[in-house]
Amino acid sequence: MSTVYDIGVLPGDGIGEEVVNEALKVLDAVQSVYGFETKREAMPYGAEHYLATGETMPDAAFDRIRDMHAVLFGAIGDPRIEVGKLEFAIIAGMRHKLDLYVNLRPVKLYDESLCPLKGKTPADIDILFCRENTEDAYAGIHGTTKKGSPNEIALQQMVYTRRGTERIIRYAFELAKKRGPKPGKDKAQVTLIDKANAVRAQDIWTRVFAEVASEYPDIDTDHAYIDAACMWLIKNPEWFDVGVTTNLFGDIITDLGAMLIGGMGIAASGNIHPGQVSMFEGIHGSAPKYKGLDKASPLATILSMSLMLDHIGQAEAAKEVEATVSDLIQTGRIKSMKAGVHKCSELGSMVRDALLERAAARS
């Protein structure tokens, strides 16, 4: 009997449904080639469900997910609903309640034509950002007093625990060790990105990074403050290998990174707790203006699905999905991830068909 994985499918809002459907098309193909199965459970949470029932995401849904291998997620965000309500309940809900402490965000250029920087090639841009995913300004500790008055005060706490800081930094070093040096380098490298010169609480990152680094003599280290890191990412993206950073800075720098590789339509992510159920999503939002128009790129979700396959133990299948996408881009069959250049359904079908053709050619 082949292995069966339990996968929660949570399309969410806006373009979520269409991009997830395309990723499932590719999943159908890749599991047929690699001989495993997935049992998929649809999860209805998002704006429509909230408007119909008043429920965001119930505890029972998190309990279900705890028994699964992974969740494939589309996007959340709807203009009819109070800003942050569903994002906090569903996206942050999964990150926090399932303790998905790693937000792995690869920034990898598949073809020079997708990069707006002059002269940068795929050899220059292949970065693995490890964004801490449960603390910092996202810890949910905030408040306002004297609201609406001239004396109003608004506060939000940036929280860093020893445990939370150490585990993401350790993950980054382990990832660098597993990946090994980039071509032409002797050692893999981890760059700490923080703002400890201004946010003095981030001194904990400085100290924990130094401690963990001392356990990995074969890995080079580097450091950049977030403002400078944004500059270097544009000027010399080849300086980055594995990057580790706080939740908020990781959110921001990976949108910048996405722009170097083709845009939000190709930037993938994994919300990971190693060895436990984890959640995979494109880093883009729900893009309500494109909902139902068959215009949005599903490649970010397809590549997130590839990260999901790697997480559940199907590393070869994961690599094949990525290689298929990369090949379609390098051979010019996929020209752009910009909305409307290709149809959403066309891109999903192209990846599925190419994957099946590659398998047929090998056998």
Q: Which is nearer to ligand IPM, 13 or 124 (CB)?
A: 13
Q: Is 63 labeled as catalytic in the residue annotation?
A: no
Pick the closer one to Mn ion by CB: 24 or 261.
Answer: 261
Question: Which one, 87 or 112, has the nearer CB to ligand IPM?
Answer: 87
Cα-based distances in Å from 196 to 205, 225, 232, 293? 8, 7, 18, 44
Q: Is 227 among the catalytic positions?
A: yes
| Listed residue (103, 84, 99, 89) closest to 254, CA to CA | 103
State how far the alpha carbon of 201 is from the alpha carbons of 158, 205, 207, 210, 328, in Å: 8, 8, 11, 16, 45
Number of residues that bind Mn ion (CB under 5 A): 1
Min dist. Cβ of residue 84 to ligand IPM (A): 7
Q: Which residue is nearest to ligand IPM (CB)?
A: 87
Least separation, in Å, of the C-beta of 76 and Mn ion? 11
Q: Which of these is catalytic: 227, 235, 289, 319?
A: 227
Say which of 45, 251, 295, 310 is annotated catalytic: 251
**How near is the Cβ of 16 to ligand IPM at its closest, in Å?**
12
- Is 90 within 8 Å of 46 (Cβ atoms)? yes
Residue nearer to Mn ion on the CB measure, 81 or 213: 81
The answer to whether residue 255 is catalytic is yes
Our CB check for ligand IPM shows the closer of 31 and 263 to be 263
Residue in 5, 45, 101, 138 annotated catalytic: 138
Give φ, ψ of 296 to 5 degrees: -75, 145
The single residue of 6, 99, 255, 327 carrying the catalytic annotation is 255
Q: Residue 299 or 309: which CB sits closer to Mn ion?
A: 299
Minimum distance from CB of 261 to Mn ion (Å)? 15
Q: What is the DSSP string of 254-279?
A: HHHHHHTTT-TTT-EEEEE-TTS-EE
| Among Mn ion, ligand IPM, none, partner that 15 touches (CB below 5 to 8 angstroms by kind) | none
Question: Please, what is the angle between helix 344-362 and helix 315-330, to 10°?
Answer: 110
218 is known as an active-site residue: no
The answer to the question of residue 132 lying near Mn ion (CB under 5 A) is no
- Rounded CA separation 99/102 (Å): 9
Contact 71/280 with Cβ under 8 angstroms? yes
Minimum CB separation of residue 87 from ligand IPM in Å reads 4
- Determine which residue in the list 251, 281, 310, 322 makes contact with Mn ion, applying CB under 5 A: 251
How far, in Å, CA of 309 to CA of 306, rounded? Answer: 5
Strands 102-108 and 70-75: unpaired
Query: Is 138 known to be catalytic?
Result: yes
DSSP of 146-201, one letter per residue?
Answer: STTSTT-EEEE--B--HHHHHHHHHHHHHHHHHH-PPTT-SSEEEEEEE-TTTSGG
CA 325: distance to chain centroid? Answer: 17
Q: Which of 29, 28, 11 is nearest to 20 (CA)?
A: 11
Q: Please identify the residue of the shown chain whose CB is closest to the bound Mn ion.
A: 251
Contact 15, 291 (CB under 8 A): yes
Residue 91 binding partner per list ligand IPM, Mn ion, none, with a CB distance cut-off of 5 to 8 Å that depends on partner kind = ligand IPM
Q: Report the interface residues with ligand IPM, using CB under 6 A.
A: 87, 91, 251, 283
Query: Least distance (Å) from Mn ion to the CB of residue 284?
Result: 8
- What lies within 8 Å, CB to CB, of 311 at 6+ separation is 70, 270, 272, 278, 280
| Stretch of 144-152, 179-187, 249-257, 317-325 lying at the interface with Mn ion (CB under 5 A) | 249-257
Nearer to ligand IPM, 20 or 188 (CB): 20
Interface residues toward Mn ion, by CB under 5 A: 251
Catalytic residue list: 138, 195, 227, 251, 255
